[in-house]
Amino acid sequence: MSIIYERVALIGLGLIASSMAHAMRRAGVVGEISGYARSAETRDVAREIGLCDRVCDSAAEAVAGADLVVLCVPVGAMGAVAAEIAPALKPGATVSDVGSVKRAVIDAVAPHLPEGVHFVPAHPLAGTEHSGPRSGFAELFDNRWCLIVPQEGSDRAAVTRLESYWQALGALTDEMEADHHDLVLAVTSHAPHLIAYTMVGVADDLRRVTDSEVIKYSAAGFRDFTRIAASDPTMWRDVFLNNKDATLEILGRFTEELFALQRAIRIGDGDHLHAYFTRTRAIRRGII
């Protein structure tokens, strides 16, 4: 494949950025990859494993001369990072991100970017419960959706170039509006993570069942259901604080339905339970 961006800078070197670095190398669509992480330990690991061509000691140094800059930090840190790199951005460069929330990230980042820089937010729907620069792998994005969120007045060429880039990394791309994105993700990702965290908390608080029993007998459902509860705490704190309205709406609906099921159990309404589970089975079976 031919080069899509001559120079790409990754800010933040966790699971997503490290997977992007591996996938870029596999695809051969990028000339040079520079990287920066706030933690010196992360930078050391990145250097040790040769994650990027250059690991820099400042974000400004990493983005200087880059054609594409991808912000791969927790969503609560995006605004501060954008302010930090803004003076060093090359005119005509594209700035993108991989944040799980779009409206709050756009509001935090856009005001800092100089004119002549293209801002094209994005969100690859891929991940694992692992984090850090060693956790990345080239196949992470294969056949996963990457949602692109063009801005009013976005340069079409910059948008389609970013789409080709994600496709080269193995992803499928779709375009979506920011608020709709945040509602879709609240139901498909954010609320499920919160519910998984809650279930682990419930198990931990239950005195009559030990933690070691929970771990030992987890194959009965707990294991499948709670894998994502091992995810990065900072990342997820920021997701909830920055997608408040949509997650609260979904959680409100969730608790209503949970209470209805709770009532059906209490009054012995087997028909209600059976009908509910029949409907959910059909939906869940549609997901491969």
**Residues that bind ligand TYR in the complex, under the rule CB under 6 A:** 100, 125-129, 189, 228, 231
Q: Which residue has the tokens 């509006």?
A: 177
Cβ-Cβ contacts under 8 Å for 267 (sequence gap 6 or more) = none
CA pair distance 226, 259, nearest whole angstrom? 21
Considering beta carbons, is residue 33 or 228 the nearer one to ligand TYR? 228
Considering beta carbons, is residue 67 or 121 the nearer one to ligand TYR? 121
Whole-number minimum distance, CB 140 to ligand TYR, in Å?
A: 10
Backbone angles phi, psi at 99, to 5 degrees: -65, 150
Considering beta carbons, is residue 7 or 133 the nearer one to ligand TYR? 133
CB pairs under 8 A, 24+ apart, for 154-161?
A: 154/118, 154/119, 154/120, 155/118, 158/94, 158/118, 158/120, 159/120, 161/4, 161/5, 161/94
CA pair distance 276, 279, nearest whole angstrom? 5
Whole-number minimum distance, CB 135 to ligand TYR, in Å?
A: 11
Considering beta carbons, is residue 85 or 126 the nearer one to ligand TYR? 126
Cβ-Cβ contacts under 8 Å for 221 (sequence gap 6 or more) = none
CA pair distance 97, 121, nearest whole angstrom? 5
Whole-number minimum distance, CB 66 to ligand TYR, in Å?
A: 24
Considering beta carbons, is residue 237 or 279 the nearer one to ligand TYR? 237
